[in-house]
Amino acid sequence: MNKELAVFLKELENFGVANDQQMKDKSKRMRNVTPETGRFLSFIATTTQARNILEIGTSNGYSTLWLAESVSENDGHVTTLEFLASKAELAKSNFEKAKMSKWIDLIVMNASEYIHKVESNTVDMIFLDSDRKEYVEWWGDLSRILKKNGLIVVDNVISHSNELQDFYILVSNDENYKTIKLPIESGLLLLTKK
């Protein structure tokens, strides 16, 4: 990672923590992944040579930049979905400041609408960090768009295990996937398509 991006990510990290400590309205919190989770996302995307990544839940773009850093090395692309226009504007500004916009496509849209239109077997990696109660409904399309040997990473699988219980049961019983939970920060669930 270049030094300029590393410094900017640290600034975003500090902003997210300060913002979330003072903000009572949950919709205005950034709720960024931790730096350790960001590094893991970049590492796993690089290791799997993911070129077409879909992120659901942009917020201010912190995790997106970690993913974009990995695809910038292999001429790949990150498509990130954000439902709130205010957060999307903040993310867009951050992508420009980080000089990473050319590897990122930011879409302000309901995720279920977007993923329903994506071609089958076209996505290498999906990062889910959004409205957890929607994941079960999205599963059919998420599974359809993911390539064979593709990877899905789900955040908050330990910290919000109650909210993700139905989703975890669903994917754990899907014979087309191998799953593993990792105790990294809030907990990550990794699924790979056989």
Q: Does 73 fall in a domain? A: yes
30-to-20, 22, 33, 127, 185 alpha-carbon distances in Å? 6, 11, 9, 16, 17
Q: Residue 83 is which amino acid?
A: F
Q: How far is CA 116 from the centre of its chain?
A: 18
Measured distance CA(128)–CA(6) in Å, rounded: 23
Domains identified in the chain, total number: 1
Predicted structure pTM score: 0.93
CATH number, domain with residue 56: 3.40.50.150
pLDDT tens track for 110-139: 999 999 999 999 999 999 999 999 999 999
Measured distance CA(135)–CA(23) in Å, rounded: 26
Using the predicted structure, report yes or no on whether residue 14 has a pLDDT greater than 80. no
Q: Does 19 fall in a domain? A: no
Q: Does 26 fall in a domain? A: no
Q: Does 8 fall in a domain? A: no
Q: Does 133 fall in a domain? A: yes
37-to-8, 33, 40 alpha-carbon distances in Å? 17, 6, 5
Q: Does 79 fall in a domain? A: yes
**Residue 62, domain extent:** 33-193
Q: Does 49 fall in a domain? A: yes
Q: Does 22 fall in a domain? A: no
